[in-house]
Structure 1
Amino acid sequence: MADTRLDPVILTADLLRCPSVTPEEGGALVLLQTVLEAAGFECHRVDRNGTANLFARFGPKGHARSFGFNGHTDVVPIGAEADWSHPPFDAVREGDWLYGRGATDMKSGVAAFVAAAVDMVQTAPPDGAIILAITGDEEGPATDGTVALLEWMEAQGEAMSVCLVGEPTCPETLGDMIKIGRRGSINAQITVAGKQGHVAYPHKAQNPMPAMAALADRLSRHVLDEGTAHFDPSNLQITAIETGNPASNVIPARSEMRLNIRFNDLHSGASLDAWLQRECAKVAAVHGVQIACETRISGEAFLTAPGAFSDLIAAAVAQHTGLQPILSTTGGTSDARFVQRHCPVVEFGLVGHRMHEVDERVSCQDIQGLTVIYSDILRRYFEG
């Protein structure tokens, strides 16, 4: 009998040829919908505010055992195309390497799960449901992607019992790391208002820089925490201090500072906002200036406590790689920060150190290996 399984490497290449730079859909979700509907999945486009999203389900709606997968097909811009060895949307293969924007992050992960899911429903249909929630907004503002999918699912009575996010999680080798949580992230823009004047007549001006320097030093030296059992210490990084003042003989009218805090589950976005506001008020009182602090929380810290779900994934990884994966919360944010409010969520995917680079590429052998692991995860889940 001929092998009718979906080839995840070919599917990855087909997805790479879709120029889906955020917020463009580029044909990627159209392709996936075609593949999934042909395999018997019920599909719905859940587009919102120009962002393309795809929901797909095989099996009964509302089943108590619904395995979910979350991923994205949008990619970051290519940069200078002349710097690429191969055109970034041509999906050129050289030996084991498949080149293209999104090869690592994360069209290969989506292709691997789709191939695993299609194989299962065609050969051993699960006693339950398989749900895919694929967005085109993970690399962008992330306001109308996975968030829109989850809100639509709630309104439609659709639910995932557990969810696997297929982001690249492995630092060096397929199987060396699983993400069971993520740090939170808060951005702040702090403005110190002064009064412009001539440097020779400081009494006629009010220099905002001493207050800004004091505040920057105070925030940088503060130890937020020492870390927890599953999280590294929280850290604050100042990313810019600007005055917009090109002259050396002018006291600037204002100074602006931008910073980011990556925080663990000892904090919340609200508690850190309150702390920043208090620190600004203290420095403002000492220096006699006005300080305004505006914050934006891009995600709260969360943890899926080690247990049955992470054990199941770790067992499948160990079975096929020979590695015992580290359970980690390191790295940046992902859409798991939204999914964790819906159901238990764990992340596992390919090696990620080439994502977003010029000449982004993925190992075809790793794509095949990830597909085998995803297939085993599905089998283990539905076999109980």
Structure 2
Amino acid sequence: MDLPARSIAIARTLITCPSVTPAGAEAFDAVEALLRPAGFAVERPVFTEDGTPAVENLFAKLGTGGPHLTFAGHLDVVPPGETARWTHGPFAAEIAGDDLIGRGAVDMKGAVAAFIAAALDYAEAHGGVHGGVLPGTISFLLTGDEEGPSINGTVKLLDWCRARGERFDAALVGEPTNAATLGDTIKIGRRGSLSGTVTVRGVQGHVAYPERADNPIPALVRLLPALLDPPLDAGTPHFAPSNLELVSVDVGNPSWNVIPAEAQARFNIRYNDLWTPETLAAELARRLATAAAAAGLPVPALAFERVSGGVFLTAPDGRLVEALTAAVGEITGVTPELGTGGGTSDARFIKDYCPVVEFGLVGTTMHQIDERVPLAELGALARLYRRFLDHFFRA
């Protein structure tokens, strides 16, 4: 079976596993059945934490020497939604015309299948299946909760690997990074994400007696512009300007005749490499304090509620990026953009262990009804990953 056909067959097998977060054993069984006969050592640790579902994960490794390249991804998928709206069953893995349809086809069982096919082909070419010596180590870090809380998955799997003495030299995450055409974007970094709440407290009272109350809403409205103007920065060579978005302004007041006791605004910032969570917190606190003093208002409370991964950048001139860029050019004829936009992924955890990039399929149908991947694109991704292995281990 040639490489594109092999990747399609593996993708269909994975899609038929209805692995809505947290992924069940069936999906991991399928991966183990592919990797173990090829000589990969496969382990499937389960991690737990109070208040969260137990999550199965998989670590598989072939080889012992360096460099050590790991392919990271997830086998869990988002719910299919209204199955009656699918033209084919979301877990049927049907081929319709030139497309493979099914939940996870793009995000990200297609990429997992393509990398498995490429790794098996590479191992066979170098005698790894028959006890030969690879010019390095190939491994897989696969989790079952990336689409969910991400508590018992990649974070704990990485800690588990470190405790066992595993060291990674580079990682590729198979998220669907490409915007329109396979090869148009390699993600070499991600912006950080920081969420917070501004709270202005007043005195609750009857609207007919405003002199006995202190309405916090006008004060909040006067202070919020300080968070937005001036802009946080103008961007850097590899990152867009940091962006603060107000996502909620609320007083929790269902009554028409009550002045509320407090008003809150919630926000999220996607920030670049000019900032850390600590420096951002200090800057926002300074802005609010300055605005409050100018308006003769008390300084509002400012609390940060969630840090979802820090900003990171993988060197664009390093072994990992150069090997992947070369493979993209040779297989697709495209010179990829080295981007850092978009949301977060498990790369935000992996970057603390080794250089990491993200590269997968075109993401236009991920999470949608009739999620699909063109067969030609899936086959091309497998060939691209295979070429990447050649470049990475020869570099």
TM-score bracket for this pair, using the shorter chain length: over 0.9
Cα deviations across residues 22-64 of structure 1 (Å, max 9, x unaligned)?
Answer: 123252122111211121100111221111210000012xx22
Is residue 2:387 matched to residue 1:379?
no
8 Å Cα contact 2:288-2:299 kept in structure 1: no
**Separation of aligned partners in 2, 1:46 and 1:277:** 43
Q: Alpha carbons of 1:82 and 1:189: their partners in 2 closer, same or farther (altered >3 Å)?
A: farther
**Separation of aligned partners in 2, 1:369 and 1:135:** 24
**Separation of aligned partners in 2, 1:130 and 1:184:** 29
Is residue 2:218 matched to residue 1:218?
no
Q: Alpha carbons of 1:214 and 1:317: their partners in 2 closer, same or farther (altered >3 Å)?
A: same
User: Corresponding residue for 1:37?
Assistant: 36
**Aligned residue pairs, count:** 381
Moved more, 32-41 or 73-82: 73-82
Q: Secondary structure at the match of 1:121?
A: helix
Q: Alpha carbons of 1:4 and 1:193: their partners in 2 closer, same or farther (altered >3 Å)?
A: closer
Moved more, 81-90 or 69-78: 81-90
Moved more, 285-294 or 121-130: 285-294
- Cα deviation for residue 224 of structure 1 reads 0.5
Q: CA RMSD in A?
A: 1.9
- Percent identity of paired positions between Structure 1 and Structure 2: 48
**Separation of aligned partners in 2, 1:52 and 1:112:** 22
Q: Alpha carbons of 1:153 and 1:171: their partners in 2 closer, same or farther (altered >3 Å)?
A: same
Is residue 2:361 matched to residue 1:350?
yes
Q: Alpha carbons of 1:288 and 1:201: their partners in 2 closer, same or farther (altered >3 Å)?
A: farther
Is residue 2:198 matched to residue 1:196?
no
User: Corresponding residue for 1:227?
Assistant: 235
Cα deviations across residues 131-183 of structure 1 (Å, max 9, x unaligned)?
Answer: 11111121122222111111111100112111111111111000111111111
TM superposition score normalised by structure 1: 0.94
User: Corresponding residue for 2:323?
Assistant: 312
Gaps of 5+ in 1: none
**Separation of aligned partners in 2, 1:202 and 1:104:** 57
**Separation of aligned partners in 2, 1:277 and 1:90:** 52
Q: What is the correspondence of 1:12-31 to structure 2 with a 5 Å cutoff?
A: 12-25=11-24, 27-31=26-30
Q: What is the correspondence of 1:212-291 to structure 2 with a 5 Å cutoff?
A: 212-282=220-290, 286-288=296-298, 291=301
Q: Alpha carbons of 1:29 and 1:283: their partners in 2 closer, same or farther (altered >3 Å)?
A: farther
Cα deviations across residues 155-214 of structure 1 (Å, max 9, x unaligned)?
Answer: 001121111111111110001111111111111133332222111211211211112212
Q: Alpha carbons of 1:254 and 1:106: their partners in 2 closer, same or farther (altered >3 Å)?
A: same
User: Corresponding residue for 1:93?
Assistant: 95
User: Corresponding residue for 2:372?
Assistant: 361
Q: Alpha carbons of 1:3 and 1:169: their partners in 2 closer, same or farther (altered >3 Å)?
A: closer
**Separation of aligned partners in 2, 1:4 and 1:323:** 21
User: Corresponding residue for 2:8?
Assistant: 9
> Which amino acid is 1:295 matched to?
E
User: Corresponding residue for 1:182?
Assistant: 190
Q: Alpha carbons of 1:215 and 1:89: their partners in 2 closer, same or farther (altered >3 Å)?
A: farther
